[in-house]
Amino acid sequence: MNTKVKLIITADDYGINPAVNEGIKIGIEKGVINTISVMMNFKSSKDDLRSLFQFLIDTNKYKKVGIGVHLNFSVGTPILKKDIDSIVYKRQGLYRFYTFSEIAGFDKSDFRPKEIGRELIAQIETYLQVVSEFKEYKEFFAIDHFTSQHNLLSSVPHFSKVLAKLSKLFKKNGKNKHNPIPVRRTMPLFKELRKREGGNKKENKKLKEKLDILKGDTVDYIVGKHVRFSILSYLKYTNYKNLASRQEFFESLNIETPDLMFFSFYATPKKRLKDKLKNFRRYLPALRKAAVNKKIIKKNEVLYIEIIHHLGIKTNKELRKAARKVSGFDMYYFVKYRQLELKLIESNLYQKLLAVDGIEHGSYSELNSQVLA
């Protein structure tokens, strides 16, 4: 079989609460999820990661699943307790990160890169501490990639320099020790933008003329006709030109990213989920052809596409109580959509997709060698 497309099927947010952790494990058991991004700033992060490593060993999946660190400074509480004042909300007896919406209201220069880096290094080192406990499996649990909560580090110029430094700083702890650790691509554009509070109407009107700037980041423009998660929220932080420049920035430093990113499943109603995956499969040949024509990849290279999922099982009072204990807040509000994505994973649609000639699983650690065999 001549492989032309490789799918990096990623489950985000492992460690944020027990319901999410269990959902991700089910996705791995089904043979669909082959990449995980773990969060390391919660009280139970070490125990959750140990549980994940042991699960992968017990199910003999440790060679097939890449694990990266989901760097975070917008959900929950930081690991560090001092010297990170610019990224911490300290009022009414609280000590937590600023939320996604709160960050949007600040000038990004209010956030000191050194303080962001200091906290994120603590998160990475916490991950590596647990890896050191599994000496026989150290090479398999080496850092596969870096992603970030809300994709802030990839998308916002003021923050992406921090991500680039971490990618190079920890390369010896990655799967390809001689190369910087791969990172997630900047946010894709979506076909139908729905106005949100704070959205920039002028930017929205210029969508079509900006598509070419973003080159490969247009999977959802082709496939996702009913995307509820809108790029408009990102325009509170940045703009289309900056998104494109971030991608060029990582490429200039030889930091690898997947060629395309598909994010359309987030918060999607049940009746549309399966249609989106079917449409994705239908358009894959056209996507690869477009990637070659736009010089995203060469004709003899594999096209790497990351598909991002947010999974979770049905919650009950015990799980919700555990979630509050772990992360300090109740994560119930979005678990409904995570359950729907898990049902998609449990269906046979992904098995059919991966059975198509020329399509197979891929990984972040492969991104330095994309030439077709």
Please name each of the domains of the chain with its CATH number.
Answer: 5-366 (3.20.20.370)
DSSP, collapsed to helix, strand or coil, labels residue 191 as coil
Q: Helix crossing, 113-131 with 157-169: angle to 10°?
A: 40
Query: In the prediction, which pLDDT does 214 show?
Result: 37
> In the chain, which residues have pLDDT < 50?
1, 189-200, 204-205, 207-236, 333, 370-373
pTM of the complete model beyond 0.95? no
Phi/psi at 337 (5° precision): -70, -30
DSSP code per residue over 202-249? HHHHTHHHHTTTTTT--HHHHH-TT--S-GGGGGGT--HHHHHHHHHH
Query: In the prediction, which pLDDT does 297 show?
Result: 82
Which run of H or E residues covers position 55? Answer: helix 45-58
207 close to 241: Cβ distance less than 8 angstroms = no
Query: In the prediction, which pLDDT does 93 show?
Result: 72
Count Cβ neighbours within 10 Å for each residue of 30-63 and write b for 16 or more, e otherwise: eebbbbbbbbbbbebbbebbebbbebbeeeebbe
Number of helical (H) and strand (E) elements in the chain, helices listed first = 14, 9
Which run of H or E residues covers position 88? Answer: strand 88-89
| pLDDT per residue as tens digits for the range 343-368 | 999 999 999 999 998 999 999 999 86
| pLDDT per residue as tens digits for the range 181-191 | 999 987 654 33
301 close to 371: Cβ distance less than 8 angstroms = yes
